[in-house]
Amino acid sequence: MMKTSKLTLLVFAMFVTFGLQAQQKIALVIHGGAGTIKKENMSDEREKAYEEKLTEALNAGYAILEDGGSSLEAIQEAIMIMENSELFNAGKGAVFTNEEKNELDAAVMTGKDRNAGAIAGVTNVKNPILAAIAVMNNSPHVMMAGGGAEQFAEEQGLEIVAPSYFYTEDRHKQIERLKNTEKQKLDHDGAQGTNNAQRFYDEKFGTVGAVAVDKEGNITAGTSTGGMTNKRYGRVGDVPIIGSGTYADNETCGVSATGHGEYFIRSVVAYDIAALMKYKGMSLEDAANEVVNNKLKAMGGDGGVIALDKQGNITMPFNTSGMYRGYIKEKGKPFVGIYQD
């Protein structure tokens, strides 16, 4: 009886262990920028376009996770879908600098080993997130910038395009309005309607990002951006700065940020959230809220973050009137949000 009892207990323990492993939750959270995004300034058609593109990115990334793919593969797919859309300030929809160029930044970090890669100021790489991943996987470096990053991307076999690929009429109109001023916008402004009374400025931070946890419990975070409209003098924001706009650690969380990059750099926003969890024992939600709505806001920094932990918990705090965002934890049930409420 004793042997049978021990055997039964052993089998039960193995079953429980296997069951817990099988129940590892998969999840994906994305953003497409935060800022002055108000419903009264949004046409029904444009709102639908954002919702559909965010949903497409969520479903595509989640399908990879569901099939046993890695969190890196999932965030790559989700971000590329947004990079290939003119709706977001990343890839195809990137804003113009004062010199009427499109300069792109991107970063990625894997929580399993805290490996990371980033690129800054590239002008001819179709999908900057792929260049960041290539830096992480195929070089001894963490960050590459400018011409060197472009040369590396080409040597890696990534798709190189003419700079004109990134030209969009809406973005060009923005730089024409701002070029002879000292004003810089942290994303794009746009016009709706046919007269000045109907004009509005959609001042949002159009960085895109994604964070995922896969069936192995590994977290990956990635971010991509076109930077600041009318920026000058080689400005680089928080996106490619590991720990500021992008961070991942399996033991705490993964974070992708969108906002006024200078403040996010000075506050080391992404890492600070992970540090509060690690050293103060704060929950994911409490840590992210403390950084975004208290610390960052006190400095004057606007924006938000998306974050998740290895249990699949998700939080998406922002201190602006809106943030394009969404998450998915179950097939066929994506959530997409735009406004504060």
What are the residue numbers of the active site?
A: 207
Rg (CA), the chain: 21
The neighbour count for residue 173, using CB atoms within 10 Å, is 15
Spatial distance between the Cα atoms of 32 and 202, rounded to a whole number of angstroms: 13
Tokens of 52: 């559909």
Place of tokens 């998740």: 308
Q: CB-side exposure of 194: number of CA atoms within 13 Å?
A: 0
Give me the DSSP letters along 292-308: IIIIIHHHT--EEEEEE
| Exposure string for 256-267, b = 16+ CB within 10 A, e = fewer | bbbbbbbbbbeb
Beta strands in 101-215 (DSSP E): 104-110, 115-122, 143-145, 204-205, 208-213
Spatial distance between the Cα atoms of 150 and 249, rounded to a whole number of angstroms: 28
Vertex 8: Cα angle to 7 and 13 (nearest 5) = 95
Contact status, residue 34 vs residue 204, Cβ threshold 8 Å: yes
Strand order in 314-315's β-sheet? Answer: 246-248, 254-259, 303-308, 314-315
DSSP annotation of 95:
P
Spatial distance between the Cα atoms of 306 and 29, rounded to a whole number of angstroms: 7
114: left (phi over 0), alpha (psi -120 to 50) or beta: left
Between 128-138 and 71-83, two packed helices, what is the crossing angle to 10 degrees?
Answer: 150
